[in-house]
Amino acid sequence: MNSPDTKDRLRAAAEVLFAAKGFRGISVREITELAGANLAAVNYHFGSKASLLVQILEQHVGELNRERLAMLDKLEAEAEANNTPPQLEAVLKAFLAPAVRRFLDEGGEDYPALLSRLHQDPTPELIEALVRIFAPVAERFFAVIRPLAPHLDDTSLLARSMFLKGAMLHSLSDGDRLATALTQGSVRLNDPDRVLSELIAFCAAGFRAPA
């Protein structure tokens, strides 16, 4: 079975599995088995299990961040054309919508769950990779949001950005476990559009709140 796409199949399998059970929770054997490849294939194609994860991260989070930056560019262009500052809600949407939409499109909570899990992973090299990948988008958003919340000093702004990130990651990865457990399933939070609009409303008000 000499197939040129073994590497792709490995990547795809690893994405699904890492998202479902985290980096440590998945063995190379499970990945290669799902991909229909030999055990040695991961190390042959990617060098190591960790490199495989980093490569996946760079690809997909990079895509996500490119979407975010594109939406921001568009926003700022419109704002400049109208000579008005962009709306806070629109800025938040630029940050949140790509992640939530991905959550919808992929038919699963793969990337958010994986990201959220990795944010809690104490392996230094993974944390470092995450920070490196996220830094440009975070800096850009910080710059755009700062003039929209002139009543907040840098500490407040950073704290609230952290809350935004936490709310997003948790709601996308936890899914509706809390809601389902609390209401015995009578209330579900599995509509991405609803989650997105609630998230925007919640965080926009949070950023507008006085210090």
Under a CB-based contact definition with an 8 Å cutoff, are residues 92 and 204 in contact? yes
String of contacts with DNA for each residue 50-79, x by CB under 7 A? x-----------------------------
The nearest distance, CB 121 to a copy of itself, in angstroms, is 8
Nearer to DNA, 27 or 59 (CB): 27
Give the binding-site size for a copy of itself (rule: CB under 8 A).
61
Give the binding-site size for DNA (rule: CB under 7 A).
23
Nearest-angstrom CA–CA distance, 28 and 34 = 10
User: Quick one: which of 13, 17, 19, 28 contacts DNA (CB under 7 A)?
Assistant: 28
184 belongs to the binding site for a copy of itself (CB under 8 A): no
Burial profile 17-29: b = 16 or more Cβ within 10 angstroms, e = fewer: bbbbebbeebebe
The nearest distance, CB 169 to a copy of itself, in angstroms, is 6
Spell out the SS3 assignment of 53-110: HHHHHHHHHHHHHHHHHHHHHHHHHHHHHHCCCCCHHHHHHHHHHHHHHHHHHCCCCH
Give, for 41, the enclosing helix (H) or strand (E).
helix 41-46
210 belongs to the binding site for DNA (CB under 7 A): no
Nearer to DNA, 41 or 172 (CB): 41
What residues line the site for a copy of itself (CB under 8 A)?
20-22, 24-25, 113, 116-117, 119-122, 127, 131, 135, 138-139, 142, 154-156, 158-171, 173-174, 176-179, 181-183, 187, 189, 194-195, 198-199, 201-211
